[in-house]
Amino acid sequence: MKAKAALVRATGSEERAEAEALFNSIGDGVITTDEFGKITRINPAALKILGYKESEILNRWFPQKIIAVDDNDQPINLIDRPITKAFLSGESVYEKMYYRKKNGGKVPVTVTVSPIILENRPVGAVEVFRDITIEYEIDRMKSEFISLASHQLRTPLSAIKTYAHMLIDGYMGDISPPQRKSLQTVVGAANRMNELISTLLNITRIESGNITITPKLVNLQKITEEIIKELDHSANAKGVKLQLKVSTKQLSIKTDSLIIKEVISNLVSNAIKYTPDQGSVTIRLSSRGQQHALICVEDTGFGIPKQAQEQIFTKFFRAQNVVRRETSGTGLGLYLVRGLTEQLGGKVWFESEEDKGSRFYLALPRQFSSQPKLTKHLQTKLNS
Amino acid sequence: MANILIVEDDVDLNAAYKIILENEKDYTVRSAFNGQEALEALKSFEPDLILLDLLMPIMGGLEFLQNYELQKKHPHVKVLIFTNMENSPEVNEAYKLGAHRCIIKSWTAPQNLARVITDALNEKTSEATV
């Protein structure tokens, strides 16, 4: 009997030693807490990342000792911390953020916190976090490269377009109708190339959180008229009637003029592209309450099939009904529209019926306040 | 009648803008190919508007704006940033340094360029909307 008890004790302590060795050998940082958020265990990897000694961490309240900050170096509110969310939801929470190190520096980390459930009750939490400094640096270098490459690609493209336009406009003398038509093809191809570069550049910027918002007073009617002027040629080529209806005069909002132009332009050019010949595209400008301007782009196009509607803002997604008819799309336009709109603090949504047309709505705050954090859908994309 | 200084390092584009502006409107146009040359040109040329590229060798657009001390010495001169670097921190910085408006090269047809410049010259600085 005594021998059996001794064996059990020995096996128990062996198991504990093995579990301890396992915990201490995990390459990512691991911290466990009790049900009140008090730190109960921390492994060497976590101590190394944060620069603390074990005695400085144990038994301290997690949110107070492990300081999390955002991109702007501002502390993240307790309610927004993954550990709080995990306790409240009872589910694992994954996020990217920065942790403040003991020496005051900050380290980018990915964090997964899971509640520890025992007999249907949370008895604590376990957090696994990873230092992603190298990934951040690679991301930054990638963005810089794409930015520079885009600029270098665009300079010769600007020259091609400018000189083709000058020939069309008669700066170098009269040209024949077939010559004009050929030059218009050159301009059209340059525009498509430009669009692609612009889209790739903006997506890279949004996904890396590097987009810069410059709020200025923007007259929506003026900017929409400019867009119509620029897209009139492609609408005319298909016999699509492009019109603007304004129900609120002097609709000026404080936002980024270039980004909003890009967003509206994308929606309108999409509408033209996916509307059959002789159809119509109508842009309506109005107010939505006191705080928002509402832009609606309505077309009589192919529409979005019901089964495709949930995925329409997804990167590289193209609905089957348009893939059959229009082969030139990239599936990036609406993904970009949503990303840029969210950066402006706005919202985009749509109503659509196959073969009847679509209505895309864009609600934008009249006053842009500050750059929003990475939005949920982009965060999910980044994480994936 | 207005004086315009083009600051653009790409020789082809610089020449094109000069032709467009001289043909389209009654403008006197001077060309510089980087910020350093622009500062030099300003010693003998008083522009009403500067069409300024950002990414240039020797001295870029932002460095030019810092040296030019736009707001202090030449408050009446409008600077139009003409770049392909949309939505970038550089454009934001240019606004802080006194730029009036930013237009994207590869999206602006020649006739639009002339129109944007005319509009900018007619606008009072405080009315700078897009």
What are the CA-CA distances from residue A305 to residues A191, A276, A335, A337 (Å)? Answer: 29, 16, 17, 20
Decide if A164 contacts A190 (C-beta within 8 A). yes
Q: Cα distance from A165 to chain B (closest Cα, Å)? A: 7
Q: List CB contacts (< 8 A) between B53 and chain A.
A: none
What architecture is the A2-131 domain classified under in CATH? 2-Layer Sandwich (3.30)
Contacting residues for A324 by C-beta, under 8 A, at least 6 apart: none
Distance CA B88, CA B99 (A): 14
Tens of pLDDT, residues A154-180? 888 889 999 999 999 888 899 999 999
Buried b (16+ CB within 10 A) or exposed e, A150-189: bbebbbebbbbbbbbbbbbbebeeeeeeeeeeebeebbee
**What's the confidence (pLDDT) of residue A10?**
61
Where in the sequence is the domain holding B63, given as residue range(s)? 2-127
Tally the domains of chain B: 1
State which fold the A133-210 domain adopts.
Answer: Helix Hairpins (1.10.287)
Distance CA A370, CA B90 (A): 18
Sheet containing A39-42: order of strands: A39-42, A29-34, A121-131, A106-118, A93-100, A68-69
**What was the ipTM of the complex prediction?**
0.79
CATH code of the domain covering residue B49: 3.40.50.2300
Tens of pLDDT, residues B4-50? 999 999 999 999 999 989 887 789 999 999 999 999 999 899 999 99
Q: Cα distance from A174 to chain B (closest Cα, Å)? A: 15
Tens of pLDDT, residues B76-117? 889 999 988 776 778 888 888 888 888 888 778 777 888 889
Interface of chain B against chain A, CB under 8 Å?
10, 12-13, 16-17, 19-20, 23, 55, 84-89, 91-92, 95, 102, 104-107, 109-112, 128-130
**What's the confidence (pLDDT) of residue A136?**
84
Distance CA B22, CA B7 (A): 15
From the list A159, A165, A198, the residue facing B110 with the nearest CB is A165
A155 touches chain B (CB under 8 A): yes
Whether residue B129 and residue A222 make contact (CB cut-off 8 A), yes or no, is yes
Q: List CB contacts (< 8 A) between B106 and chain A.
A: 154, 157-158, 161, 190, 194
Task: Enumerate residue ranges in chain A where pLDDT < 50.
Answer: 371-384
Decide if A272 contacts A240 (C-beta within 8 A). yes
**What's the confidence (pLDDT) of residue A382?**
38
Chosen from A140, A158, A250 to mutate, greatest number of chain B CBs within 10 A? A158
**What's the confidence (pLDDT) of residue A377?**
43
Residue with tokens 């885009």: A150
Whether residue B84 and residue A150 make contact (CB cut-off 8 A), yes or no, is yes
According to DSSP, the residues that pair with A365 across neighbouring strands are A292
Chosen from A197, A226, A258 to mutate, greatest number of chain B CBs within 10 A? A258
Higher pLDDT, B119 or A6: B119
Distance CA B121, CA B78 (A): 8
Whether residue B16 and residue A159 make contact (CB cut-off 8 A), yes or no, is yes
Decide if A134 contacts A109 (C-beta within 8 A). no
Both tokens of B75, joined, read 């408050």
Whether residue A154 and residue B86 make contact (CB cut-off 8 A), yes or no, is no
Q: Which CATH number fits domain A213-383: 3.40.140.10, 3.30.565.10, 2.60.40.650, 3.10.290.10?
A: 3.30.565.10
Supply φ then ψ for residue A80, to 5 degrees: -95, 0
Decide if B41 contacts B5 (C-beta within 8 A). yes
**What's the confidence (pLDDT) of residue B130?**
40
From the list A162, A171, A222, the residue facing B13 with the nearest CB is A162
Residue B127 has pLDDT above 60, yes or no: no
